[in-house]
Structure 1
Amino acid sequence: MPVAFRLPLQVFYEREARHPRQPFLVQPIGGGAVQTLTWGDVGHQARCAAHWLRARELPQGSHIALISKNCAHWIIADLAIWMAGHVSVPLYPNLTADSVTHVLQHSEAVLVFIGKLDDWPTMAPGVPAGVPTISLPLCPAGDFDYRWADLQGCSPIQDDPLPPASALATIIYTSGTTGLPKGVMHSFGALGFAATHGTELFGLGEGDRLLSYLPLCHVAERMFVEMASIYTGQTVYFAESLDTFLTDLRRARPTALFGVPRIWTKFQMGVYARIPGKRLDRLLRLPFIGKRVGHKVLAGLGLDALRIALSGAAPVPEALLRWYQRLGLDVLEVYGMTENCGYSHVCRPGQQKIGWIGLPCPGVEVRIDQAGEVQVRSGATMLGYFKDAQRTAEVLTEDGFLRTGDKGEQDADGRLRLTGRLKEIFKTSKGKYVAPAPIENRLAEHARIEQVCVVGDGLTAPMGLCVLSTVGQPEARHALQDSLERWLEQVNAALDKHERLRQLVVVKDTWAVENGFLTPTLKIKRNVIESTYGPQFQVWSERTEVILWQD
């Protein structure tokens, strides 16, 4: 029996009509000032833009690209594209010109909205000749074919267009941890299925607040911020920049927040920069006082109003989850992929089992095949990869299950635990297979390690490469040497013999999005790490030191 759900535009029209004066989007505009747009404001601007798009007389279902950092007009442009009967194609706001060209040409985009960007001059050459550009508010300086003011000069459309559930709504290009990104096609029905049932899990509503800071072009922020705010009526606050992030966070005082593990780690590192970890842990253990200290720490971060804290995109170190619990905050893990709208598994409030993600989301079927691969099926599954029938057939089974590429297991209650990526598992020269993700997750629990990558394909034993946290970097090397040696010994003691690391290499580089080591959602790119340091793997593995420092 099909599960009932509502479509995104249908829900938006209802809110626009019911409370047009209620705040919807709060946008920083510089100098500490903000612009608040109501549901009526958003509807009016989207309808004017939809009128302009209709007047272009493009074929129905044309692909229109959107290149911008998170901002109010990202969401308004997305709504306008849908109202005009077209398909939105969001791009990451920090792509190279070559990547921009690839996505725009592959997606067959006929127009491009250009919004808030940090380095437009390096991206601009990537827009193919003949593809018109439209500047949004807060856009960088440049030559654009049309301005947002041109679109707003049109009268708003008066009808409430509603594409069918089966219609293509968006093509989301994966962030590409390996190789070129794939264009994931999602229907309005898939978005509606995930948003309708996902928002029912947490009891969020019109009095709640979100902070938007992870890329909206990524499926997680698209669902947790754009779709969730439309379906629940939450107010969305936008972050202005990295420099103002804490100010933006305190302004929003979100009641719900989604973050990748590295964001939750950075919050912790920020706290440790102000108060030593051991002292804080002692204070948190004190009766009565500990609870007040935890609340004060959360208030300093702007997280004291948080009711729902979620983490996804990668495993969260168990020690980090327990640290937040001591502060009085349960960070709940979620699991999903671009290919299923990020809608697969989530830990329910009050049902947290450390080390396990949680139960399947409503309407999601789960099975684990003989190789241990997690496979899922639901109404949120993609239509396929755009112009790539072969890879679509490789990832979707004949009976409609999505091959996740993740190995996992379920407990008696149906909770899921991931044990590694099938493609990331490597074989040592001794013929033994090693899954790096669980080992990396354990190593990352050390307070001075911020990022870690375990390698070992073809080596006699695995080794770990790590980047120190901002707290660990200033510390004396000899003090860290002893601490890291003890930690590696402790981690190895819990591993099977063939999994034990020969050494831990502290690299001097920073792994960031800007230099290509991380995806825009802060996942490590293993292929980049292996190509960068690979020539030294054999030399390092022949050294006798347990902790090596790259000089």
Structure 2
Amino acid sequence: MPVAFRLPLQVFFEREARHPRKVFLVQPVGNGEVQALSWGDVGHQARCAAHWLRARELPQGSHIALISKNCAHWIIADLAIWMAGHVSVPLYPNLTADSVAHVLTHSEAALALIGKLDDWPAMAPGIPAGVPTISLPLCPEGAFDFSWADLQACSPIQDNPEPVASALATIVYTSGTTGLPKGVMQTFGALGFAATRGTELFGLGEGDRLLSYLPLCHVAERMFVELASIYTGQTVFFAESLETFLADLRRARPTALFGVPRIWTKFQLGVYAKIPEKRLDTLLRLPFIGKRVGHKVLAGLGLDALRIALSGAAPVPEALLRWYQRLGLDVLEVYGMTESCGYSHVCSPGAQKLGWIGLPCPGVEVRIDPSGEVQVRSGATMLGYFKDPQKTAETLTEDGYLRTGDKGEQDADGRLRLTGRLKEIFKTSKGKYVAPAPIENRLAEHARIEQVCVVGEGLGAPVGLCVLSAGNDDRRALGSGLERWLEQVNTALDKHERVRQLVVVKDSWAVENGFLTPTLKIKRSVIEATYGPQLQAWSERAETVLWQD
């Protein structure tokens, strides 16, 4: 019997009618000031914008791009696009002009809504000729064809359009870890299936608060913030900038927060910047006092009200999870892909098993194929990739399972553990296969290793390329510490997996220079191409820790 679920606009209209004056979105507008928008305010603005979009007389189901950092009007614009009968195509707010041009051209975008951005002049040349632009509030300076005020001058639509479950809702472009971004097509039914079931897992409701700071165009933030807030009635606070992030966090005092591992590590490093690691560890071990200290640390971060703390997009080092547990906070891992609306596996409160992600979400079927690949099937599975039937056929099995590309295993209770990416596995010159991701996760537990990439195709043994976080350490002392750390990590690895040496590279790996995807994942192909010519020579050096000078 099919699982019952409700569709996004249907749920939004119910909330708009039930409590129009309740605050929905809280947007910083500068100088410490915020603008609070109620469900009624959001509905009114979305309805006015939908009227304007309908008046363009575009073909039903036209694709409309949304280019903006997280802000209240990102969500309002998305709702307006859906109310007008169209499909939203969100773009990352830090793309190059070439990437903007590729996505807008490939998606056949008819319009582009431009919102809050840090470097619009660098992106603007990517807007194809003939694609009109509409400026949202908080947009950068520039010449736009229409403004949000033009849209708000229209009267609000009076009907409550409810697209059918099978209608296309959005095309979400992947971040391009392994090549050009692919356009994942998701229906209203897939979004509704994931949002209905996902929000039931944690018991969140109208009294809860979220902070939105990861890109809303990414499936995780889209589901955990935009869709989850609509389905549960939570209030969404937005972060203004990196500089104000801590103040934004303290203002929101979220009761639920989704983060990637690097965010949880940044919080930890921020704490250590104020209180030395050894001193904090000593205090946390003290009876009675330790619990108060942990709560005080969380309060200083604005995390003292957290009931649900989630981490996804990459495995979390077990040592980091234990550190948060000592503070009194369980950070739960979740697993999903853009192709499954981010809905696949979750670690339930009170059922955490370190090293394992958790059980399949309700309505998700899982199997491990003979190659070790994790395959999942549910009502949240994508239709396919836009204009790419070949890639779709490669990714979806004939019986509807999604090939995740992740290797994994299940325990007796059905919990999932990932053991690497199929396409990332390399073979050393000794003919041994190595999965780099689990090794990288262990190396990254060192407080000073900011990013790491383990390579070794054709080498005698793997080599770890790493970028260190800023610090005033003496190079010799830091090098000795890294040597000891590598020795410790290697003792837990099979002989053929052991890392020959760590190379501390001088480059910064960032989105802007192409080393990271917009979701802050390393681009292995770029890293291997950049350092490939030097790898053989490095691997023949005697030093365990090398510094690229």
The TM-score, its normalising length taken from structure 2, stands at 0.99
Letter in 1 for 2:173: Y
Contact 1:60/1:85, CA 8 A, preserved across alignment: yes
Kept in 2, the 8 Å contact 1:269–1:469? The answer is no
The aligned amino acid for 1:191 is L
1:154-206 Cα offsets, whole Å, 9 max, x none, are 00000000000000000000001121000000000000000000000000000
Q: Is 1:49 the equivalent of 2:59?
A: no
Amino acid at match of 1:534: G
> Displacement, 1:535?
1.3
Aligned to 2:529: 531
Q: CA deviation at 1:516?
A: 1.8
Q: Could you tell me which residue of structure 2 aligns to residue 164 of structure 1?
A: 164
8 Å contact 2:95–2:518 — kept in the other structure? no
The alpha-carbon deviation at position 229 of structure 1 amounts to: 0.3
Q: Runs ≥4 in structure 1, deviation > 6 angstroms?
A: none
Q: Residue 262 of structure 1 aligns to a residue in which SS?
A: helix
Partner of 1:368: 368
Say whether residues 1:110 and 2:110 are aligned partners.
yes
Are residues 1:354 and 2:354 paired?
yes
Equivalence for 2:488: 490
What amino acid is aligned across from residue 66 of structure 2 in structure 1? L
Letter in 2 for 1:303: L
Distance 2:108 2:359 in 1: 38
Residue 439 (structure 2) aligns with: 439
Q: Which amino acid aligns with 1:111?
A: L
5+ unaligned residues in a row in structure 1: which ranges?
A: none
Identity between Structure 1 and Structure 2 (%): 88
Alignment partner of 1:160: what SS? coil
* Structure 2 match to 1:460: 460
Q: Secondary structure at the match of 2:407?
A: strand
**Counterpart Cα distance in 1 of 2:218 and 2:367:** 26
Relative to the length of structure 1, the TM-score reads 0.99
Matched residue SS, 2:4:
coil
Query: d(CA) in 2 for partners of 1:294 and 1:336?
Result: 31
Q: What one-letter code is carried by the residue in structure 1 that aligns with 2:498?
A: R
Distance in 1 between residues matched to 2:515 and 2:171, nearest whole Å: 25
Cα separation, 2, equivalents of 1:39 and 1:411: 44
Residue in 1 aligned with 2:276?
Answer: 276
Q: Which residue of 1 aligns with 2:498?
A: 500
**Deviation (angstroms), 1:482:** 1.5
* Residue 480 of structure 1, aligned match among 478, 481, 490: 478
User: Which of these residues, 539, 542, 547, is aligned with residue 544 of structure 1?
Assistant: 542
Distance in 2 separating the partners of 1:154 and 1:16:
19
Quote how far apart the aligned CAs of 1:288 are: 0.4
Give the Cα separation in 1 of the matches to 2:85 and 2:325. Answer: 46
CA contact (8 A) 1:502 1:546 kept: yes
Q: CA deviation at 1:469?
A: 2.2
CA drift at 1:550: 1.1
Determine helix, strand or coil for the equivalent of 1:273: helix
Q: Secondary structure at the match of 1:93?
A: coil
Please give the secondary structure, in 1, of the residue aligned with 2:274.
coil
Deviation at 1:402, TM superposition (A): 0.1
C-alpha separation between the residues in 2 aligned to 1:235 and 1:513? 30
**Which sits farther off after the overlay, 167-176 or 511-520?**
511-520
Q: 1:381 & 1:108 partners in 2: Cα distance?
A: 23
Unaligned runs of 5+ in 2: none
C-alpha offsets along residues 333-355 of structure 1, whole Å, 9 cap, x if unaligned? 00000000000000000000000
Which residue identity is paired with 2:129? A
Pairwise CA distance, 1:73: 0.3
Tell me if the contact between 1:260 and 1:522 (Cα under 8 Å) persists in the aligned partners: no
Q: Give matches, 1:127-526, under 5 Å.
A: 127-470=127-470, 473-526=471-524
Task: State the shift of 1:515 in Å.
Answer: 2.1
SS in 1 for 2:45: helix
Give per-residue Cα distances to partners, 1:67-118, cap 9 Å, x unaligned.
0000000000000000000000000011111111100000000000000011
Alpha-carbon distance in 1 for matches of 2:321, 2:520: 19
What is the Cα deviation at residue 479 of structure 1? Answer: 1.1
Contact 1:69 1:93 in 2 (8 A): yes
Counterpart of 1:79?
Answer: 79
CA distance in 1, matches of 2:300, 2:502: 34
**In structure 1, what is the Cα distance between the partners aligned to 2:518 and 2:104?**
18
> 2 CA distance for matches of 1:506 and 1:289?
39
